[in-house]
Amino acid sequence: MEKLPKIGIPVIVLFTLAIVLISKSAVTIDSGEAGVLFKTFGDGVVTDEPPMGEGFHIVAPWNKVFVYEVRQQELFEKMKVLSSNGLEIQIDASAWYEPVYKELGNLHQSLGKGYLQRVIQPAIRSAARSVIGRYTPDDLYSTKRDAIQVEIFEETKKILDKQYVQLNEVLVRDVTLPPTIKDAIERKLKQEQESLEYEFRLVTAAKEADKVRIEAQGKADANRILSASLTAKILQDKGIDATIKLSESPNSKVIVIGSGDSGMPLILGNN
């Protein structure tokens, strides 16, 4: 085998070193991620420049890049907390969060990649305990759940505002009460519903009675007005009109005009 030329060995060495340097220097950041640059021979974590965005990057081989997911992420928590009267309540909640993009360097420097366990989980647990402690199991079971959800979000957000983390939403997915308390609340709600239905029936019956009374009063008033307007002359005229009509009817066979003051007709032989 022929010996390599003296110039060939340095070329091979340089080529190998170049490949190693490129492999150490090349950084690819995927979609939904960002990089924080750490300068080994500089000031450490770079906080005064924007994070490294998606795509291919070349950095000095002695520097490091820490990649973070910057999409919205979800934390699911099951927590046991105490209500205002000391009963243990289980809360299933979700928090939607993401790191503040422009503060990613500060986040890495102060909290690191474990920021979820270091600040987000303790914050939402503390807020949930504080908020739930103001309410009774009745409140948690019925109408106050939306308000409780908003309060937990606001209190958690206050804690995280200075931690380079953005909280987007807190969702209370389920509230589990002790079985005896849940049964008692359901019985109470059922009794309240039955009471409301009974009151509704009473109100409906009262309105119906008022309607009948008003209609009866209207008829009585109408009859009184009519009676007052029916004089003897009017009655006589109406009797005459009725007699004429009866006489013209083809079904009338015999018409006898009555005697006396009224002179009302007596009709015989109708078919």
pLDDT digits (tens, 9 = 90+) for 126-144: 999 999 888 887 777 766 7
Element (H, E) at 36: strand 33-39
Q: What is the mean pLDDT of residues 219-234?
A: 68
Instruction: Confirm whether 89 is domain-assigned.
Output: yes
Instruction: Confirm whether 161 is domain-assigned.
Output: yes
Q: Are 35 and 77 in a shared domain?
A: no
Q: Are 84 and 153 in a shared domain?
A: yes
Element (H, E) at 27: strand 26-29
Of the chain, the end-to-end C-alpha distance in Å amounts to: 146
Q: Are 83 and 148 in a shared domain?
A: yes
Instruction: Confirm whether 220 is domain-assigned.
Output: yes
Q: Are 136 and 203 in a shared domain?
A: no
The per-residue pLDDT of the chain, averaged, comes to: 78
Q: Are 24 and 93 in a shared domain?
A: no
- Domain boundary, last residue among 134, 150, 177: 177
Instruction: Confirm whether 238 is domain-assigned.
Output: yes
Q: Are 156 and 102 in a shared domain?
A: yes
Query: How far apart are alpha carbons 234 and 232 in whole angstroms?
Result: 5
Answer whether residue 160 shows pLDDT above 80.
yes
Answer whether residue 244 shows pLDDT above 90.
no
Structural domains counted in the chain: 4
What are the angstrom distances between the C-alpha of 54 and each of 29, 125, 217?
5, 34, 85
Q: Are 61 and 82 in a shared domain?
A: no
Q: Are 81 and 150 in a shared domain?
A: yes
Query: How far apart are alpha carbons 142 and 144 in whole angstroms?
Result: 6
Token pair of 158, please? 């206050």
Instruction: Confirm whether 58 is domain-assigned.
Output: yes
- Residue type, position 207, single letter: K
Instruction: Confirm whether 2 is domain-assigned.
Output: no
**Which pLDDT belongs to residue 208?**
80
Instruction: Give the domain extent around 112.
Output: 73-177
Instruction: Confirm whether 1 is domain-assigned.
Output: no
Q: Are 241 and 165 in a shared domain?
A: no
Across the beta sheet with 44-45, the strand order is: 44-45, 33-39, 64-69
Cβ proximity of 131 and 151 under 8 Å: yes
Q: Are 241 and 199 in a shared domain?
A: no
Query: How far apart are alpha carbons 18 and 22 in whole angstroms?
Result: 6
Which residues 6+ apart lie within 8 Å of 234 measured at CB? none
Q: Are 77 and 156 in a shared domain?
A: yes
pLDDT tens for each residue of 89-112: 888 999 999 999 999 999 999 999
- Domain boundary, last residue among 18, 35, 69: 69
- CATH number, domain at 111? 3.30.479.30
What SS3 state is found at 16?
helix
Cβ proximity of 33 and 104 under 8 Å: no
Instruction: Confirm whether 125 is domain-assigned.
Output: yes
**Which pLDDT belongs to residue 217?**
80
Q: Are 30 and 17 in a shared domain?
A: yes
